[in-house]
Structure formats: C-alpha cells, structure tokens
Amino acid sequence: MTDLADLTIAEAGHGLRKGDFTSVDLLDAVDRRAAVTEAHLHAFLTMDHDGARAAAEAADAALAAGNDLGPLHGIPVALKDNMCTIGVDTTASSQILAGWKPPYDATVTARLKDAGAVIVGKTNLDEFAMGSSTENSAFGTTRNPWNTDTVPGGSSGGSAAAVAVGSAFGAFGSDTGGSIRQPAALTGTVGVKPTYGLVSRYGLIAFASSLDQIGPFARTVDDAAVLLEAVAGWDRRDATSINGPVPDLRGGLEEGVAGLRVGIVTELSGDGIDPQVLAATKGIADKLSDAGAEVIEVSVPASEFALSAYYLIAPAECSANLARFDGVRYGHRTTVEGTTEDMMSHSRAEGFGPEVIRRILLGTYALSAGYYDAFYGQAQKVRTLVRNDFAAAYERADVLISPTSPTTAFKVGERAADPIAMYYSDVCTVASNLSGDPAMSVPIGLDSGGLPIGFQVMAPALGEEMMFRVAAEVERLAGFEDRASLATSDVVVPS
Amino acid sequence: MPVDIDIAKVAKLARLALSDEELAAYSTQLENILENAERVQALPTDGVEPTSHPLPMVNAFRDDVVEECLDRDSFLPSAPDTQDGQFRVPRILGE
C-alpha cells in the first residue's frame, strides 16, 4: 500500500475529495515520515504539531461541510524559517532572533492558511538566507536525504530536504541568488523562483530587497504551479509587488514544446560545470529538439560578470536591511554594559554568525563614502548589462536553459572554509535574480554517485506560463522517478 | 583600484563590536572577495544607467487614511527591555 507521504499534492487532493483519507491522515503520514527522518536530516527548526493538527481538523470539517478552498485544502506544507508565522518561532536560523514569535503572518503564510493548507513547521536555512549549503545555520546543518554526508544546498536547504523526503507535500523558500533552485537541484525536487514582484515579500525577513523572491518546492512541476498559484499576486503591503494579472501557470503544462525556440546559454554551459551535469543537460536539450523545439545556442555575455556583481549588490542591501537587528525592539541583547551604541554593537556581534558578519562588513564597505561608485554603483551598471543581454537573448529564444548548479551535492564541510568556492555554487542562478526574470529547476537524473542533477529553465519577466510549459516537458522527457533512500517511514540507517 | 580596507572603521559603521583578531581575519577575507570584483570594475560602463530595481515600476501610492495597525501588546513582550509601554535602552550619551 502506498504511504500517503509519497503522494503528490494532486494525488492527495484527489483522495481527500473522494473520501479515501482525511487531512489528518495526510498530516499523520508526514509526521511519521519526519519522526523517522529528522534525526538524520534536521530539515525542520520548529514543528508546529498543535497548530497543524488544528488546521488539519478544520480542513476536514470544512470539506465535509462542502466548503472546498481549492487544491491546497488540507495539504501539509512547510515554510522556510524566514517567513513570519504568527505565534510560531521565526528565527531566520540566527541566534539574534532565537525564540522570536512574530506578532503577524507573512502574506505568504496568510494566503496559504486562506487556501486551507496545513502548515506543519518551519525549515532550516543558512542564517538570514546567506549561503548555499544550509551549513551557516546557527541551529545545525541540514543533510541531504540522498546521501547524508552531503549538503542539501542552500539557503533553503530545509525546505528542499523536507519535500525530497516526504515530510511535507510542498514547501516555500526564498531565492536571492539561487536559494530555491540550487537546493532543488541538489535534492531532486522542483524549485521555482518567480518573476520579482509576483509573490509578496511582506513578512519575509529581508536579505537583499531588490533580489529576494519567494517560491515553492514540490515533487512535480504541476504541484509547484499549484503552490505558486496559491500565493502569487499583488499585495498592498509590498510596494514592489506587481499590480497586474498573475500568469496562467498551468495553462500550458500539456502543450509540449513543438515550435518553441529553446536557447542554451553558452556562458553557463561550459567551463566550470561538472562534466556529468553538462552531459545530462545536453541530453535533455537533445530530447527537447526531438520533441519539436528549435534548440539553439544563445550568448548572454554579461552573465559571466553576474556573480561578481551579485556579491557586491546583495551584501550592500543586506548591510542596510540587517541594521534593524539592534537589540532594541526584538531579538538578542547583550549583557555588556555601556551606551546604547555599545549595546547595539555587542548585541549584533554576539547575535550574528560569521557569514552574516562577513557580508554586512562587505556591504558596508561597498556603500561607504569614496567606494560607492567603484563597487555598488558599478555593480548596478553591470546589472543593467545583464538585463540588456537577457532581453537580447529573449529576442531569439522563448526560454533559456542551463544546468541549475555547476555540481551535484558536495560534502558537508567541503566548501565551508572557502567563501569564494561556496559563492561559485550560485554561478548559474544569480543572473536571473539580477534581471528579475523567473527561473526554475527540474530534476533530470542522477550522477554516477547517485546524486540528483537539476536542469534550469529561464523565461522573461512574467513568462511563467511558458517556463512551466517547458519545465513540464522536461519532466516528461527526463522521466525522473527516483526517490531519496531516506524517503521512507521505515527506520533506516542512512548511507 | 587597489583594495584598501579600514576594517575597524567599517565595523564601527556597521555597529559590530569585533576583536582585533576577528577584524584581521575579516579584513583578509574581504580583500580576497573584492579581488573578484576587479573584473566587474574593469568592465566599460560609460553611459550605462544603473539598475536599482529589476522591473520598470513607478511609486506605489495608496490613499492616506487611518487604518488599524499592530496592537502594542502583541509585540512589546518580545522586546529585550520595556517600560511604561515603550522600548527601553541604555543611556544614549557616553561619559
């Protein structure tokens, strides 16, 4: 008999409405899965057992009364711990926010509740979403369910691991430079960074405001579309959210790719990419061609400079955003005596971890008098070049493709001591954040070590319908059905 | 442009009380990271407008009307120190 924790959201929704099982049954199934896997993974920082149980019971009662709230009704999902949940700990994996319970819900949280979803808990991340491995969490590293010696990617590694292993049917993360797509690639899940402004950032603890975007993790492309639909759309509380129609995310899922122009990005498909990842990517490109797409090579020259520009812009914005953590209104306050400024400086130094301090210092320097034009100003001009080059590429291609991550999952500790090596993990993903365009990762296979490989589909701003259409075809062509060895509710010894 | 970082000044601007050893370590790391930025600095960008926001958006206006906001009792309890319904901090001025 199928373990309910292994169902897709579509299958679970179907069974709920047929009366085969209840939302409480689904919650029990993911709880059992988490009870077995969490000791090996540490995907969650907080599990809201009471809140989830009450939400599942309410979902069952509503459905029984004929009040169907849509495809997420009664479905257990998880949230990255940088999204505010009223009354439930929200830490951004930082000591400076340990124990903080938000007095309000993020818009994403509120919309999920309105859609009848059951929020099971808060997932681990690199502190303030700064990292590519989830090793920077102040509360312990999350492991990859495919091989617990390796990282799940980051910064949304907890959400990725939870979905990969079946301790949630779907999850949300945030993507500033690849923090949804890269962990999706490393854990064999689907991960989406929508167009900047498609999903409200209200209640998302800000890292880099002009780059941050919330998006879903799921086990299928269709499930990812359902999750994104539930939270997308204008929000008066986020002045940068797009006040316009939401793209039809599911309209093209069955359309195929015949006649579409698919561009392989030259700069992201050569040097620095693992040969097995490259071969798998090219293999899918060939299949897209066989399926009727016109596959061409497209150059996005400025993308080569995207990573360097990103590591000036993101720290600059983070240094401003994280100024609010000062020991006054919430969070950690030092016991060191002195003036208010001393209190702030010691509270911050005690509360932030090393990567966060490194980026605050870098950003403060890049914004400081005499250096602003040379660093931040120049990076913003490079950002314009990236946008222009993407615009030119989309004249020739409907979508762009590349690997999601230059390598499959790397070992815990392997890049932790070398910030620059870690930063390179984002080389294929940052350009989409700079341009604001949507991009997503779809699992396409395993490398020789049995670790998942992710395939990136990129589209122009608000081109989600086309992006999901191509991603759905990639999913069909890849036929990726493997599950992580830890994705079981039986007690196992991980590899 | 050579990288020249007055790390103590940067840490003070960032309100981070770091030890001399920490400052030295971060200074070295920042220099290494900023060396990677030299490629960006070398790019010709004369006449290129900077991008501060990825999409062409103008100001988002709303009507200037009084609305409900968070109740003070919902967030004051999570502050490190409060008095008479307000946030409390140490003295502002030094000796």
Decide if A282 is catalytic.
Answer: no
In DSSP notation, A318-363 reads HHHHGGG-SSSSSS------S-HHHHHHHHHHHHS-HHHHHHHHHH
Q: Return the pLDDT at B2.
A: 53
A342 to B17: CB separation less than 8 angstroms, yes or no: yes
Least confident of A303-307, A319-323, A329-333: A303-307
Q: Is residue A184 part of a domain?
A: yes
Number of domains in chain A: 1
Torsions phi, psi for A366 (to 5 deg): -65, -20
Map tokens 């999601």 to a residue: A404
d(CA B48, CA A465): 31
Q: Return the pLDDT at A227.
A: 98
Which percentage of chain A shows pLDDT scores above 70?
99
Q: Which residues of B touch A345 (CB under 8 A)?
A: 12, 15-17
**Nearest Cβ partner of B14 from A236, A342, A360?**
A360
Q: Return the pLDDT at A488.
A: 87
Least confident of A23-27, A36-40, A382-386, A422-426: A422-426
**CATH for A184:** 3.90.1300.10
Domain of residue A121, residue span: 4-249
Instruction: Note whether A212 and A240 are within 8 A (CB).
Output: no
Q: Is residue A225 part of a domain?
A: yes
The tens place of each residue's pLDDT in chain B, 95 residues long, gives 456 799 999 999 999 999 999 999 999 999 988 988 888 888 899 999 999 888 877 788 889 999 999 999 999 999 999 999 999 999 998 76
Q: Is residue A301 part of a domain?
A: no
- Substitution target in A308, A313, A324, A328 with the highest count of B β-carbons within 10 Å is A308
Domain ranges of chain B: 1-41
- Substitution target in A365, A380, A432 with the highest count of B β-carbons within 10 Å is A365
Q: Is residue A135 part of a domain?
A: yes
| CB environment A385-413: b (16+ within 10 A), e (fewer) | bbbbbbeebbeebbbbbbbbbbbbbbebe
Q: Return the pLDDT at A383.
A: 95
Q: Is residue A185 part of a domain?
A: yes
Least confident of A106-115, A382-391, A415-424, A443-452: A415-424
Q: Return the pLDDT at A492.
A: 62
For residues A12-18, average pLDDT: 98
For residues A330-339, average pLDDT: 97
Decide if A80 is catalytic.
Answer: yes
A326: pLDDT strictly greater than 60: yes
Q: What angle do CA A288, A290, A292 make, to 5 degrees?
A: 75
Q: Return the pLDDT at A447.
A: 98
Q: Which residues of B touch A348 (CB under 8 A)?
A: 14-17
| Contacting A residues, span 46-75, partner chain B, CB-CB under 8 Å | none
Nearest chain B residue to A210 by CA: give it.
B53
* Contacts A–B by Cβ distance under 8 A: 168
A491: pLDDT strictly greater than 90: no
A80: pLDDT strictly greater than 60: yes
**Nearest Cβ partner of A196 from B16, B55, B93?**
B55
**Nearest Cβ partner of A365 from B30, B36, B87?**
B30
Q: Where do runs of H (alpha helix) occur along A42-94?
A: 49-64
Q: Is residue A483 part of a domain?
A: no
Decide if A179 is catalytic.
Answer: yes
pTM of the model: 0.97
Q: Is residue A212 part of a domain?
A: yes
CA distance B56 to chain A (A): 10
Q: Return the pLDDT at A1.
A: 63
Q: Is residue A158 part of a domain?
A: yes
Beta-carbon count within 10 A of A198 CB: 27
Which percentage of chain A shows pLDDT scores above 90?
94
Mean model confidence pLDDT for chain A: 96
Q: Which of A3, A6, A13 is nearest to A229 (CA)?
A: A13
